[in-house]
Amino acid sequence: MDFQNAIQELDKGIVKPFYCLQGSEVYLQQTFRQALAQKIETSTGELDVTSFDWNEVSLDTILDEAETYSFFVDQRLIIVDQVDLLISQPNKKMTESETQRLVDYLKDPNPSTCILFIVPFDQIDKRRKLTKCFVKETRYINISPLEENAVQTFIQTYIQSQSFEMTPEAQKGLLQRVDYQLSQAVTEVQKLKQFAQSGQKVTLEVVQSLVTRSLTSDVFELTNAILAGKLEPSIQIYQDLILMKHDPIQLHALIVSQFRLFVQVKILQRQGMRQDEIAKSLAVHPYRVKLALQASRQMHLNELSQLYLQLVEADYQMKTGLGSKDTSFYLILTKIMQL
């Protein structure tokens, strides 16, 4: 089930005995947690909630709590954070008896207890029997990062609900500055709402003044300039980032990571994968994949791979003290421009 349908179901007063939120979108996670807690509190008159960290307690402890009836409320809420049992290599291994007990509970849950498992991973192992059981037996809700259009629609609706005016250009500028990250976009909208309380319209100029570009956006602009062979803009952007007190080693690591993404998306696109499939395969935000696909068109795969290897070598030298962190970028940039 998708997020909106799950919220609509709660609005109708329907509360299931077991929910599983799977994905890394923090805002959607927090919104659903609050909506579920409010619905249970409204229906029972008060809220009896117990929270667990999956890494700190045993499954038996969680299920023992779930199977216990409350003397004070008709329905209790148990929230379990950081659940990793559905990924390929979970840190916490379960025994066969624990797995069977969990499966048995999923098929016959305590109706007076509502459990919410939070699986904060975008990639899970769909081949596992336990995963298939969760999808079948629980109200399974995907909260992975939304596609670009979905984020845009969500933010438009959210801004309307906040009762202030923001131009379409400002909305687009905001989303670009936060890399279409929903949680960050919502946070910035709250800041812009404070500005608009005096009745002023939020324009693109206001967004550019009040919303700081993410470091990821700045690094992408830098790598895009490098790919385009633009020496002076590349140096200017890099120097601006240094003036903003960013560490050269950290910046170089981000540049290496960005070029690794360029190579990866290029290879996967050649294999016939679509943009959304690439994003899921690499566990990367869809908007970053879109930009990487556009930028990587400027070079052939062989050239990109050669450039990436040179950057990796420079990164190694910087981290081991073999190369100067203050001059390595300029040296590698000179080599790149000669390709």
Q: What is the CATH number of domain 215-337?
A: 1.20.272.10
Task: In whole angstroms, give the CA distance from residue 31 to residue 303.
Answer: 45
More confident call, 74 vs 104:
104
Between CA 307 and CA 263 the distance in angstroms is: 10
pTM over 0.85: no
- 297-309: per-residue pLDDT in tens? 988 999 899 889 9
Per-residue pLDDT tens for 151-168? 999 999 999 999 899 999
Q: Per-residue pLDDT tens for 222-246?
A: 998 888 888 898 999 999 899 888 8
Q: Which CATH superfamily is domain 3-142 in?
A: P-loop containing nucleotide triphosphate hydrolases (3.40.50.300)
pLDDT for the residue numbered 339: 62
Q: What is the C-alpha to C-alpha distance for residues 228 and 270, in angstroms, rounded to an integer?
A: 21
Write the pLDDT tens digit of every residue in 112-131.
Answer: 999 999 999 999 999 999 99
Helices (H), 248-285: 248-270, 275-282
Running DSSP on this structure, what letter comes out for residue 214? Answer: P
**Tokens coding 70:** 């409350």
pLDDT at 96: 93
Q: Quick check: helix, strand or coil at residue 30?
A: helix
Q: What's the rounded Cα separation, in Å, for the pair 138 and 305?
A: 44
Please give the CATH architecture assigned to the domain spanning 148-210.
Answer: Orthogonal Bundle (1.10)
Q: Evaluate whether 148-210 and 215-337 have a shared fold.
A: no
| pLDDT at 337 exceeding the cut of 80 | no
Let me know: does 304 contact 259? Beta carbons within 8 Å: yes
The percentage of the chain sitting over the pLDDT mark of 70, rounded to a whole number, equals: 99
Q: Where are the domains of the chain?
A: 3-142, 148-210, 215-337
CA distance 295 to 304: 11
The letter for the amino acid at 52 is F
Report the pLDDT value the prediction gives residue 138, as an integer from 0 to 100. 97
